[in-house]
Structure 1
């Protein structure tokens, strides 16, 4: 090895490693062999610095290629998605209601049990189940022969007692009868009059009549059957108006107190909507349930609502006039934000929105939208911000989406 080479290497290392005066003294005072050992000791550091430099260059190149690929991919994606069809909703102010739904059961407005007031055999059945009756209409006839005889006997006894009373009055006037005899005769006449009146009532009660107008729901007798006093003959209900009974949880009682008019839906009638008025809210809860019974009155002139039908009652806790709303499914969660897509110049734009009341499957938009915005309600999961789309239909209300 020539003497000058180590000096050249030393100079290079001095420049690459910033050698200080002590290092220079080391090179001047040590033999070439020691100098070579020192050089080999510094090689790992040199390799490490070179490795870092290479990694840095590779990282920069990879990042540039990645950005180029992403830009190319985004361009291709936008080109592929140009033909996405969407349906939009034009935002229009409308009333938004915060509602609670409760299940309820329909019951008759009035229910009357027709009972037998005399004992005997039913000789005639005048109605059948489902018949419409008026107040006083005949339901059944009970054999009245015994009661006719009892009335004749009571009349005869009363007439005899009345004749005897008149004679005693004449004798008492002539002082031929005592006051006690007169009082006894008057009392006996009054008692026989009461017996005769009861016989008249019993005879009238052989004709079993309805005490109110309505529909015959059940018949509990047949012609020829023997009935006793108090036996159930039939049941008559009034359903030209009906009641709906609902259980209200304790937590909602205060809201219900403030409401007098209710909206209810009958599933059995194709979801038809009816209006009801508050009748009674019970003052005590059902034992063990903490549920208070609410009764509503619903007009039912066509008798289409029947007892025991299931009703869904809506109670409006709060409402906002002229609020903007969109279907809940049109709202997308993105980066912990609620976003809807709005169409402007055939391109998709993301709008961050603030949600408010829920009204069924509609949600109030408190901020982020304005009247007239076209919100994507069909196809919103298939588009991206900035993408060009094809609007195939625009609706002015959420209800139009169901058609």
Structure 2
């Protein structure tokens, strides 16, 4: 009865393992079916479109026509072109001053009156000297007459061989000496008479008159003032109808200037107004405070301007422009595009064509001002020039300021 009980557990069948394997194979088949279906589906779909390129905007400038002017810029001052300093011809005291600063005067106009300080005693002394010299001259003339008679007598005696040679020569020497004393006294008399005439003329020169027509610009005379003869300027008369501009120009710029070139200037007193003229002179020596101990040298340049309305006054500051070159209605590009030219005098720029393509061009640059540069060849009006991402430093024009 016990043996059947021992074999009972080994006789029970197991059904879980086959069921698990079946489920695993079913899942694998489902994955393969789904993967194959997705693969077939993806093979039947068109490929995705390529991404569109992002358009790049090119920065360009247009070749435009413009007027250009290349100049040398410097600062100077306006001064009177023609002036005369007036003083007193006699020493004395000013009794009257008849003009004021800014007054226009004509040549010959009375400016001031001087009470002369020439001492009458000096004239009297000269007159006394003159009288003494004339008295001496009378005595010397008598001695000369006697010497001449002695010489004539000795001459006759010598002809008769009745006198010695020494007596003859002595009489001739005495005659010549007497004549010399007469000549010397006559010269002293002439000198004394000239001094008397000069002193008498000085006493009469009490009027100070205008030597030229113009305007009184400085006045250093006051009634009661003591003045010396030809020692100081009491006033200055200037012709303000024409002025001179004095301009110190640096050594690197002055070599580019030449006589006769056009120059113009403005002054703060008249904003927007311009005066022009022609360069008259370039001083050959530097100004007093330049060109020493390693300092840059400056040379004074002069040009004249008309001033019919008397607007300009001496001493006004002037912002001066010397015109080196000028061009009207020429093709131009911004000066920032100008670089150092090559050996052939050209440089390269990028031109944007109508279809958007870029083309390299060689161009030649002419004159330039502070903003634009002239294009002599390589570009036409209206063409588009590409602006570089990092603009190059513009080629400098040595020593020139531009406008």
* TM-score bracket for the superposition, by shorter chain length: 0.5 to 0.7
Matching of residues 47-126 of structure 1 within 5 Å: 95-126=67-98
For residue 323 of structure 2, what is the aligned residue in structure 1?
A: 316
For residue 279 of structure 2, what is the aligned residue in structure 1?
A: 278
Aligned: 1:261 with 2:259 = no
**Structure-1 separation of matches of 2:259 and 2:251:** 14
1:361 CA displacement:
6.0
Q: What per-residue deviation string (whole Å, max 9, x for no partner) do you get for residues 319-369 of structure 1?
A: 3344145999xxxxxxxx9999xxxxxxxxxxx999975546666577766
Aligned: 1:301 with 2:308 = yes
For residue 100 of structure 2, what is the aligned residue in structure 1?
A: 128
For structure 1, the 5+ residue unaligned runs are 18-52, 54-59, 71-90, 329-336, 341-351, 376-403
**Structure-2 separation of matches of 1:323 and 1:164:** 93
Matching of residues 3-402 of structure 1 within 5 Å: 3=22, 5-6=24-25, 9=28, 95-144=67-116, 146-147=117-118, 149=120, 153=124, 156-157=127-128, 160=131, 164=135, 167-168=138-139, 171-172=142-143, 174-175=145-146, 178-179=178-179, 181-203=181-203, 205-229=205-229, 230-257=231-258, 260-285=261-286, 286=290, 287=292, 288-324=295-331, 358-359=368-369, 364=374, 370=381
Change (3 A) 1:158 1:357: same
Give SS of 1:116's match: coil
Normalized per residue, the structure richer in helix is 1
1:189 CA displacement:
0.2
Give SS of 2:256's match: helix
TM-score, normalized by length of structure 1?
0.56
**Structure-2 separation of matches of 1:10 and 1:291:** 102
For structure 2, the 5+ residue unaligned runs are 1-19, 37-41, 43-47, 56-63, 148-174, 336-348, 353-359, 385-403
TM-score, normalized by length of structure 2?
0.56
Is residue 262–residue 323 contact of structure 2 (8 Å, CA) maintained in 1? no
**Structure-1 separation of matches of 2:245 and 2:124:** 52
Give SS of 2:124's match: helix
CA-based RMSD: 4.9
Count how many residue pairs are aligned between Structure 1 and Structure 2: 293
